[in-house]
């Protein structure tokens, strides 16, 4: 094969496991041969739509078997897959599609309204609408729907599309049914010359400026991540992996799901996290592997059936996003499940460190040691390694590090210096080189496994009439790890003032926006809900007289955090 990349994995896997079930989704099963054929047909459909090397193909949707098919098909063409957080609001999705210059978009059934709103984007020429409504008897054993629909999903002239839900109307580009496109596509083998250094995936992560940046990974960086997991987590071809964590996040996709596919195991995809269903699936299907964030682990353990559920097959659980408390580690250990914990980020695909199961309790509170093909250092501001026990910035090097931020060479140069990725996180080594993450240089916080960047939320608050100044911080929360707390200065402070007020001086030059009535915490929460993904909306909003800033006008968040702690 000329294709040495991600797209070749289905074709390589069918050499030895063609008839084995690769993916299960909501009662449908797909063998490795099915996945290979469906991704090959989709690659042909995309190529017929004009997609080729270097073009961007986006996927917007929750967990679904078509997400993996789109990944493989895009990679086969030498195109670049743009995976988008399904929880984003329509304007946020529009920004990513525009910034990446996506020419094709595959979207799920939950995102019809998004596409109606953003269907004017002139760079998008093809929209593929996923439809789950195909009757069971239309899905033969080969996984390809038995339909003679043309590519655009239309039936006879003037008739509505057969067996495909009504296609969304857009003002730019053409909308086609996903299944109809696969059924009507050619079956030629797609074998482009693709190497380790070719770009394969862009995954957007917000930055301190409030604008998302596209972390661009190569075929080689992703394959290095998968091999790291295969080695460090002892992934087996007999594994049954439950993928209920979001696959549009780097950990849900790359810590368990893709390594399982590479090894030849079986992946059970569920649309989202349903705690009762997860426990039932583990017991009924003999699940061996899954990735979860601490909030999920806590929710599972809180269910009344947790103590009686058969967890004996669950041997490879990885948790990340924030540290798992000792209490929760022991709760799962008492049920015979030793949880591994990871530390990393989108830019490193994500693995840098892994606290392996054997060390989970003895080294609790640490992030473990480096992955097999990844190196890390802790350095001072001059780039010198710090002694054991001292705190410095965590930097990482390895083939799993991203190529850079899409179309942002200056920002790339700031974080990748002499081949080392600067994480912006502070940590220290112990005498065994186990890492303890101390704090963040950045203001980002993590809530329920979601990275939240205060600048983005602050910008949205400042767009609300009557808001003069705003600051958002992450505060500890027993359920979510951290939640957002916003402090807001309005033109005319009413009865809401003083709720946890942070002392300081007002923002220099802050102009009144002349709202007829000053915004309230409730009205601001409602307005943010229209602009941002729900998980980004702060759980608490306090109206204050002023925010602390230094002489140059820079917000002093350390004072805000200190004041918050003192007034809790």
Delimit the domains of the chain by residue range: 6-195, 219-440, 445-566
| Confidence tier at 516 by pLDDT (50, 70, 90) | low
Collapsing DSSP to helix, strand or coil, 263 comes out as helix
* Higher-scoring residue by pLDDT: 89, 517: 89
pLDDT of residue 144: 40
- Distance (Å, whole) CA 400 – CA 232: 14
CA quadruple 260, 264, 268, 269: dihedral sign: positive
Percentage of the chain lying above the pLDDT 90 cut: 77
- Distance (Å, whole) CA 395 – CA 435: 12
The structure tokens 């000792």 sit at 326
Instruction: Answer yes or no: are the C-beta atoms of 263 and 19 closer than 8 Å.
Output: no
pLDDT digits (tens, 9 = 90+) for 80-121: 999 999 999 999 999 999 999 999 999 998 999 999 999 999
Is the domain defined by 6-195 classed in CATH 3.40.50.12780?
yes
pTM of the full predicted structure? 0.80
- Distance (Å, whole) CA 424 – CA 395: 8
pLDDT digits (tens, 9 = 90+) for 466-495: 998 999 999 999 999 999 999 999 986 443
pLDDT of residue 553: 60
Instruction: Answer yes or no: are the C-beta atoms of 33 and 19 closer than 8 Å.
Output: yes
Mean pLDDT of all residues in 211-217: 94
Phi-psi category of residue 101: left, alpha or beta, with phi > 0 → left and psi -120 to 50 → alpha = left
Torsion angle of the four alpha carbons 144, 145, 146, 151, in this order, in degrees rounded to the nearest 10? -100
Q: Which CATH class is domain 219-440?
A: alpha beta
Structural fold of domain 445-566:
GMP Synthetase; Chain A, domain 3 (3.30.300)
* Higher-scoring residue by pLDDT: 227, 323: 227
> Does residue 38 surpass a pLDDT of 80?
yes
Reading the block at residue 465, the tokens are 């009439």
In this chain, the answer to whether the domains covering 219-440 and 445-566 adopt an identical fold is: no
CA angle 16, 237, 346 (to 5 degrees): 110
The structure tokens 């250092």 sit at 377
> Does residue 150 surpass a pLDDT of 50?
no
- For the chain, helix (H) and strand (E) counts, in that order, are 16, 27
pLDDT digits (tens, 9 = 90+) for 364-405: 989 999 999 999 999 999 999 999 999 899 999 999 999 999
* Higher-scoring residue by pLDDT: 503, 124: 124
- Distance (Å, whole) CA 236 – CA 228: 13
- Distance (Å, whole) CA 401 – CA 309: 39
Collapsing DSSP to helix, strand or coil, 559 comes out as helix
pLDDT of residue 32: 99
């Amino acid at each position: 094969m000329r294709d040495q990349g991600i797209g070749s994995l289905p074709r390589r896997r069918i050499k030895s496991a063609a008839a084995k079930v690769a993916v299960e989704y909501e009662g449908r099963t797909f063998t490795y041969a099915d996945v290979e054929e469906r991704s090959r047909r989709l690659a042909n459909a995309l190529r017929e739509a004009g997609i080729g090397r270097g073009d961007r193909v986006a996927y917007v949707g929750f967990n679904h078997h078509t997400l993996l098919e789109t990944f493989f098909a895009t990679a086969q063409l030498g195109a670049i897959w743009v995976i988008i957080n399904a929880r984003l609001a329509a304007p946020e999705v529009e920004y990513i599609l525009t910034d990446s210059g996506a020419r094709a978009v595959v979207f799920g059934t939950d995102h019809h309204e998004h596409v109606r709103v953003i269907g004017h984007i002139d760079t998008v020429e093809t929209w593929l609408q996923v439809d789950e409504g195909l009757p069971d008897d239309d899905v033969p054993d080969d996984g390809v729907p038995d339909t003679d629909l043309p590519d655009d999903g239309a039936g006879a002239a003037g008739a509505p599309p057969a067996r495909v839900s009504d296609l969304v109307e857009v003002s730019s580009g053409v909308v086609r049914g996903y299944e109809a496109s696969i059924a009507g596509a050619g079956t030629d083998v797609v074998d482009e010359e693709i190497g380790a250094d070719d770009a394969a995936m862009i995954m957007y992560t917000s930055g301190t400026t409030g604008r998302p940046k596209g972390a661009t990974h190569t075929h080689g960086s992703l394959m290095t991540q998968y091999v790291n997991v295969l080695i460090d987590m002892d992934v087996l071809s007999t594994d049954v992996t439950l993928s209920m964590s979001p696959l549009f996040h780097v950990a849900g996709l790359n810590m368990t799901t893709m390594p399982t596919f590479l090894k030849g195991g079986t992946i059970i995809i569920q649309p989202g996290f349903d705690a009762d269903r997860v426990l039932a699936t583990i017991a009924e299907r003999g699940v061996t592997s899954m990735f979860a964030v601490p909030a999920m682990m806590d929710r599972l353990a809180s269910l009344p059936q947790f103590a009686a559920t058969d967890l004996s097959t669950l041997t490879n659980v990885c948790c990340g996003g924030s540290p798992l408390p000792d209490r929760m580690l022991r709760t799962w250990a008492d049920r015979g499940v030793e949880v591994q914990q990871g530390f990393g980020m989108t830019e490193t695909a994500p693995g840098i460190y892994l606290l392996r199961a054997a060390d989970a309790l003895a080294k609790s509170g640490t992030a473990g040691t480096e992955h097999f093909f990844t190196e890390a250092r802790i350095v001072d501001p001059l780039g010198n390694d710090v002694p054991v026990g001292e705190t410095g910035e965590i930097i990482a090097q390895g083939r799993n590090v991203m190529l850079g931020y899409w179309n942002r060479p200056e920002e790339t140069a700031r974080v990748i210096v002499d081949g080392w990725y600067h994480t912006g996180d502070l940590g220290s080594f112990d005498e065994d080189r186990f890492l303890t993450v101390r704090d963040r240089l950045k203001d980002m916080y993590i809530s329920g496994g979601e990275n939240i960047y205060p600048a983005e939320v602050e910008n949205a608050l400042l767009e609300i009439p009557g808001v003069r100044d705003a600051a958002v911080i992450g505060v500890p929360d027993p359920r979510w790890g951290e939640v957002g707390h916003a402090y807001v200065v309005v033109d005319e402070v009413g009865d809401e003032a003083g709720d946890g007020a942070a002392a300081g001086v007002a923002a220099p030059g802050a102009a009144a926006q002349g709202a007829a009535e000053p915004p309230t915490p409730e009205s601001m929460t409602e307005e943010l809900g229209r602009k941002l993904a729900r998980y980004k909306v702060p759980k608490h909003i306090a109206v204050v007289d002023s925010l602390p800033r230094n002489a140059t006008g820079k917000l002093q968040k350390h004072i805000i955090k200190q004041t918050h702690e003192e007034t809790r």
